[in-house]
């Protein structure tokens, strides 16, 4: 039976773009009403009024930048899905967000293109289009997939990142297409954005936003950087915001680790999650089992070849938090076999002196994620409402 769709899943996220703009991102509805969605409607209210007003209609992606807002005002957003039969009930409300001047963000603005990037649906184009449009510069890094170069978009002058993925076999191209499909449904300020893809005889080039700040891991181990517990809260909130959005869209990352968390600039506390090469789209009636990931960060169910779920990412979030707070890896053994044994037993502790000054709330947060049984782990949404995570100074908009 056809009818209006269900509301978009979960809470929309609202993130400050600049002093007068907010980027709102949301998830698709669990049920579309039996027919194609025609768009989304964004509604807004201020803290001084209970009246909801429409601020954007006929949105065809899962995010929208709302502009021309008032500095100093607190805004809350909600979203309705629409099809030919009408509009859904409103979604849950977003986090309230206050717009105001922020010196730290002002320092970042010149380096941050993400607020200018409009969400787009990427389809693979011919390789000669890449050659004519982009100038290739220095290498930024290598991985299991191939190599990343800095490039300039000659059409806009923007600096971007180009990931050259080796595609010798048919399966290689299929894997890249899966990654593109997943990135096409993930438009959120805390997730790396894909803007183009081009096919050459031996590789596919994925064009993504350029992030200049390096890996969070590099920041953590730098001799001249001291990571406070408040810094960790700021980073963990953003990680959980990005993860919550992915999970609301039934995507599990499966490779969350400090190396896949990038800082927007060298001095910024703002991050983005990257590398969706191992990510999977979950289906309710199709259990997924995998045998990959980074040994220190994978949950027991992957080692035991049991079905995975969004909870599998939450174990990794717990390991990341432990590493950020202490500089130590909770399950690291002398070899992979020993590491896996520690993970399957959930064998970790807070005995090291690095935890002497860490709050009990922080330890409770980690313990609520490093649960052997995945159904007992906190969800990303529950993490954001945990007592430890809500300590963040609400007056400081870097969160």
Q: Which residues are catalytic?
A: 255
Q: What is the DSSP string of 219-272?
A: HHH-TT----HHHHHHHHHHHHHHHHHHHHTTEE-S--SGGGEEESSTT---EE
Residue 42: enclosing H or E segment and its boundaries? Answer: strand 37-46
Q: Could you tell me the two tokens for 76? A: 């809350």
Q: What angle do CA 38, 187, 104 make, to 5 degrees?
A: 135
Q: What is the DSSP string of 80-134?
A: EEEETTEEPPP-PPPPPEE----HHHHHHGGG--TTTPPP-----EEHHHHHHHE
SS3 41: strand
CA proximity to 126, closest of 201, 31, 55: 201
Q: Could you tell me the two tokens for 215? A: 């890996």
CA proximity to 355, closest of 379, 322, 386, 313: 322
- Given a contact cutoff of 8 angstroms between Cβ atoms, the answer to whether 39 and 260 are in contact is no
CB contact set of 213 (below 8 Å; sequence gap of 6+): 219, 262, 263, 264, 265, 266, 267, 268
* 270 marked ligand binding residue: no
| Annotated binding residues for ATP | 170
């Amino acid at each position: 039976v056809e009818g209006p769709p269900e509301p978009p899943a979960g809470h929309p996220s609202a993130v400050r773009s600049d002093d007068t703009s907010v980027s709102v991102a949301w998830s698709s509805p669990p049920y579309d009403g039996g027919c194609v969605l025609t768009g989304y409607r964004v509604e807004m209210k201020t803290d001084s009024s209970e009246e909801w007003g429409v601020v954007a209609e006929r949105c065809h992606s899962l995010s929208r930048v709302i502009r021309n807002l008032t500095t100093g005002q607190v805004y809350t957003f909600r979203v309705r899905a629409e099809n030919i039969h009408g509009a859904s009930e409103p979604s849950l409300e977003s986090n309230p967000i206050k717009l105001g001047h922020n010196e730290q963000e002002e320092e970042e603005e010149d380096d941050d293109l993400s607020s200018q990037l409009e969400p787009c649906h990427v389809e693979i184009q011919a390789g000669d289009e890449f050659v004519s449009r982009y100038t290739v510069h220095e290498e930024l890094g290598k991985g299991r997939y191939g190599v990343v170069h800095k490039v300039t978009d000659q059409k806009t002058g923007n600096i971007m990142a180009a990931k050259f993925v080796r595609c010798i076999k048919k399966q290689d191209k299929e894997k890249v297409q899966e990654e593109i499909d997943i990135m096409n449904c993930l438009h959120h300020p805390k997730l790396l954005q894909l803007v183009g893809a081009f096919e050459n005889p031996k590789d596919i080039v994925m064009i993504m936003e350029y992030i200049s700040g390096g890996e969070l891991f590099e920041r953590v181990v730098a001799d001249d950087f001291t990571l406070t517990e408040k810094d960790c809260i700021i980073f963990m909130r953003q990680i959980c915001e990005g993860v919550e959005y992915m999970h609301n869209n039934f995507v599990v990352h499966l490779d969350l680790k400090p190396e896949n968390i990038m800082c927007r600039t060298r001095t910024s506390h703002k991050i983005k999650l990257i590398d969706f090469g191992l990510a999977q789209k979950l289906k309710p009636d199709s259990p997924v089992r995998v045998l990959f990931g980074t040994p220190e960060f994978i949950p027991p169910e992957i080692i035991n070849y049991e079905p995975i779920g969004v909870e599998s990412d939450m174990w990794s979030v717990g390991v990341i938090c432990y590493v950020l707070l202490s500089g130590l890896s909770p399950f690291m053994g002398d070899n992979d076999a020993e590491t896996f044994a520690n993970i399957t037993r959930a064998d970790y502790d807070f005995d090291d002196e690095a935890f002497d000054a860490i709050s009990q709330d922080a330890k409770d947060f980690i313990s609520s994620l490093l649960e052997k049984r995945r159904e007992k782990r906190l969800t990303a949404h529950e993490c954001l409402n945990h007592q430890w995570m809500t300590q963040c100074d609400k007056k400081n908009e870097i969160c």
